[in-house]
Amino acid sequence: MPSGRIRGLSDDGLGVLQAGNKTVYVPFAYPGDMVGVKSTRRRFGRLIARDFELLEPSPLRVLPRCRHFEKCGGCLWQGLKYRAQLELKAELFERITGIRAEIKGSPKIWGFRNVSNFIVTTSGVGLKEYGNPFGVVGLSECPVFSKRTPEYLRALRDFLAETKLRPWSLKRKTGDVHYLQVREGKFTGEVMVNLIAHRSPAEETAEAFRDYFSFADSLYWSLKADDRDDPRGEPELVDGNPFIRERIGDVTYLIHPNSFFQTNSYALELLLRAVEDFTDGERVLDLYSGVGTFGVWLAKRGFAVEGIEVNPFAVEMANRNAELNGVNAKFRVGRAEETTIGDYDTVIVDPPRRGLREAGELLVRSGVERVVYVSCNPKAFRLDYENHLRKAYRVEEAVLVDMFPHTPHVEATIKLTRRR
């Protein structure tokens, strides 16, 4: 049994154990822990511990709040003191990017998530097990999401029991109900429930759905036409309002089942203010604008904003959000890498996890003085900077915002200024 002290963390937040000539990566282990690894598996060329014994705890440890910790894959770092989480996130970011940055903690570290996707399977109802694609942790609570989690799950289980709808089999890829998605407006108190299923509801099923989830302000049934394991389908409104609202500072956002919205409402204002602080001039291009999260906020502060987004529905939502807030922001459909970057003072980019790629060259060839790069993927930023952006820009400043407590992830806002 390999044993020893965890001396550091991998880039993805696993404890690193050096045992002789072997390196073992230990999930849920932290710097300073003395561990004994009981079994391992090989994944992507690394030895990953399946199970370990904690022989001596690190002084960085704290008692986790969730009873499902170390089984559920949602909170890899819940056993770490929060101050240690922040310090380690900043260290990992600097190690990957070479940038030393201030980190701002989340105002709340419990009940902060505004969405949860509960998987509904023959193995249980809850969230995925860490490292097991077919394993599901049957949840009774989720402290990072909501105090109302037991209520939501009880309504789901009672609804399934009455209607006899079959949960999804991950191995056979058969069944009726696949996911229950719940969204909460943390600052409005509004709730959206969206059931993702592989069949349309009969009228009596829809009636039962309305009855069991009568607490929802917006109730959707999403028909899923494929067998991929994700919480996506074609949503149809069953009852209530087509949108719920979230209010961040003085801006109200509409949320729909197909909307991407930052998952931590409490820390989102910190992120928006970081972007605002790095934005100069009058004219702003919001590239990868989504539902207008950054663009509408900046327009509320007096900037003239134009947004580009490849998803037509997101563009529709962004324009609704601009109209709702009465701001000078216009969003249109387009591909970032095909966008002509005109006379803008600042360009905001919040690219998908793979990064800018070809769009980086457009920025290099543009005359834009300032780029504000927002990302939760520091490796993608590093590649974008090394391969493209450094030809024309230098890193002036960066701020990290902890949108994801109890995980290794962090959101970075990086201010890039054109070289002279």
Pairing of strands 283-287, 8-9: unpaired
Among residues 75, 219, 195, 215, the alpha carbon closest in space to that of 151 is found at: 215
pTM of the model: 0.95
Angle at which helices 378-387 and 82-97 pack, to 10 degrees? 20
Q: What is the pLDDT of residue 139?
A: 93
Q: What angle do CA 56, 57, 58 make, to 5 degrees?
A: 125
CB 153 within 8 A of CB 214: no
Strand order in the sheet with 3-5: 3-5, 34-43, 46-56, 22-26, 15-19, 8-9
- Residue 418's alpha-carbon distances to 94, 284, 399, in angstroms, are 22, 16, 19
Q: What is the pLDDT of residue 367?
A: 87
Q: Is 376 a catalytic residue?
A: yes
Long-range contacts of 226-229 (CB under 8 A, 24+ apart): 227/173, 227/198, 229/119, 229/170, 229/178
pLDDT digit string (tens) for the chain, length 420 residues = 789 999 999 999 999 999 888 999 999 999 999 999 999 999 888 999 999 999 999 999 999 999 999 999 899 999 999 999 999 999 999 999 999 999 999 999 999 999 999 999 999 999 999 988 899 999 999 999 999 999 999 999 999 999 999 999 999 999 999 999 999 999 999 999 999 999 999 999 999 999 999 999 999 999 999 999 999 999 999 999 999 999 999 999 999 999 999 999 999 999 999 999 999 999 999 999 999 999 999 999 999 999 999 999 999 999 999 999 999 999 999 999 899 888 999 999 999 988 898 899 999 999 899 999 999 999 999 999 999 999 999 999 999 999 999 999 999 999 999 998
- Residue 377's alpha-carbon distances to 109, 147, 155, 252, 307, in angstroms, are 21, 30, 36, 27, 22
